[in-house]
A and B are shown apart, each in its own frame.
Chain A
Amino acid sequence: MTSVLYDAPGPGAKRRNIVYSVLFLIVLALGVWWIYSAMSDKGQLEWAKWSPFTESQAWTTYLLPGLVNTLKAAGLALVIALPLGALFGIARLSDHRWVRVPAGVVVEFFRAIPVLILMVFANQLYAEYTDISTDMRPLYAVVTGLVLYNASVLAEVVRAGILSLPKGQTEAAKAIGLRKGQTMRTILLPQSVTAMLPALVSQLVVIVKDTALGGALLSFTELLSARKTLAANYGNVIPSFIVVAVIFILLNLLLTTFASWLEKRLRRAKRSTGAVLTGATMDDLGATGTPAGLGPMSKTDRANGDAGGGGG
């Protein structure tokens, strides 16, 4: 493999690479050994701390209900945020100033605020002004916070998706006499939905990760807080963290793999306009909301969404 930085290695370079590999392997092994000895010093490698995960009880009582709550909050947030985001994304492209500007202000406002702040606000709002039961309130608060933030992010995704379509689409629609609403509904939106599907799945990773905020600060019983009760019961802090982290990693890797598979598939599809939005494309959207061009960033590598949005 040749890259921008080095040629195919010759004999000298091959030898040097082997030396570097061995050196790095030694450093890596030292690190692993250090972690291993620290773990065994503190008794975190004892079978008693790991055995709960081989039995069904730890899963059925703690981890699976936690995972279900995580997925429930993430799914609800996506389902509600998507139409809302589409609405605001289209509103930002409106020809009328009085629609475009307020929509822009709302979107930029909620994008600038951490998800946690939104969740804490929603939690208190529901506590003071509604009679949602205390059991349900954390779920409502988490979903509200996620919806407010992600709807504004998705608004930008939708806007970028529509802007990524060739101009000829709108012109052709005008030429055959479609009205603005019809053009949007029948020509632009369906195409941009396909273009933005990969970015959408990538955003789901951010949403899944952000649900953990509710577990840490709002007593929402998702995976992270399920870990807490589990560790309190079995006295296995480190193993429980490792298992929960692995669940999150597998879940999110599944989503990212699906997103890039979808992206490849859509790029291949003959009938599409060829525009595909990825996480990296969305990185091009500056914080000030300049329209996303399909710049050099999107062609090269996926930077995979923003750095965890406003949360975790």
Chain B
Amino acid sequence: MFDFLEGYDLLGAFWVTVKLAVFSGIGSLVLGTILAAMRVSPVPLMRGFATVYVNVVRNIPLTVIIVFASLGLADVFGITLGAADDFDALSFRLAILGLTAYTAAFVCEAIRSGINTVPVGQAEAARAIGLNFTQVLSLIVLPQAFRSVIGPLTNVLIALTKNTTVAAAIGVAEAALLMKEMIENESQLILISAIFAFGFVVLTLPTGLILGWVGKRVAVKR
């Protein structure tokens, strides 16, 4: 029944999916935190920039961003990201770039809403003992904010895992592209689809359960 699987690197494709999710997850967490810090900073220009970034990027389809990374950044501007000769590596890196830029906007909004859950009194107390903005943010507010947004961030991470399939649009050899290839070549539509659906359920459901448990454990009780 599963004979036809032999010619395909199923695990390899899902491994690419996982790598895409992990790398762009880390990237968007870093970029999103920076954006969130800018959105709450006392400098109006930084606030404005981060607000515009979030509202613009959030409203462009991820597909447009990733296709632009390939056709615009790589083909027209000749950006190679250190992988000039290797087409596969280049598409992989461009996909991570696009996913990071897109997901960071959602990470930023999640963290910002977490910052708003910290009681004003805490920051007032921190200022009263002489901490400055950076110290208040990094010592008092962000640690609490992160602990309270693990739930929303988990949702962002799960959405990111599912969004990695969009990388198929620029030829990254991940799960969705392999599925498209397989169902076009083999007459096993239902079985193949079930395998890929199962693969994504395996990737996303445990993430939600484990991080949901972690989120409950570390949440600041108020």
Contact = CB atoms under 8 A, between A and B. Distances in A.
A312 B179 contact: no
A194 B44 CA distance: 36
A10 B179 CA distance: 60
A115 B195 CA distance: 16
B151 A286 contact: yes
Interface stretch (A55-63, A84-92, A242-250): A242-250
B100 interface: no
B64 A244 contact: yes
B208 A286 contact: yes
A79 to B, nearest CB: 21
A5 B113 contact: no
What is the interface of chain B mostly: helix, strand, loop, or mixed? helix
A308 B159 contact: yes
Given A237-B71, A241-B72, A21 B66 contact: no
A42 interface: yes
Interface residues of B, number: 80
Interface stretch (A94-102, A158-166, A174-182, A293-301): A293-301
B156 A307 contact: yes
B77 A42 contact: yes
A312 B61 contact: yes
B68 A241 contact: yes
B76 A42 contact: yes
Given A241-B71, A306-B159, A287 B152 contact: no
Contacts of A6: 42, 127, 133, 136
Interface stretch (B8-16, B80-88, B198-206): B198-206
B76 A5 contact: no
A4 B67 contact: no
Contacts of B112: 301
B18 interface: no
18 contacts: A4-B119, A5-B123, A20-B43, A21-B45, A24-B49, A109-B197, A116-B165, A116-B176, A124-B184, A215-B63, A283-B110, A284-B151, A287-B205, A303-B152, A307-B156, A308-B62, A308-B106, A311-B162
Interface of B: 40-46, 49, 55-56, 58-68, 71-72, 75-77, 102-103, 106, 109-110, 112-113, 115-120, 122-123, 127, 133, 136-137, 141, 148, 151-152, 154-156, 158-160, 162-163, 165-166, 168-169, 175-176, 179-180, 183-184, 187, 189, 193, 196-197, 200-201, 204-205, 207-209, 212
The 4 closest A-B pairs by CB, nearest first: A287-B208, A312-B62, A312-B63, A307-B159
Given A224-B64, A308-B159, 17 more contacts: A5-B42, A5-B133, A38-B77, A114-B163, A115-B162, A117-B175, A120-B179, A121-B193, A213-B61, A224-B67, A241-B64, A283-B110, A287-B207, A297-B152, A303-B110, A310-B159, A310-B162
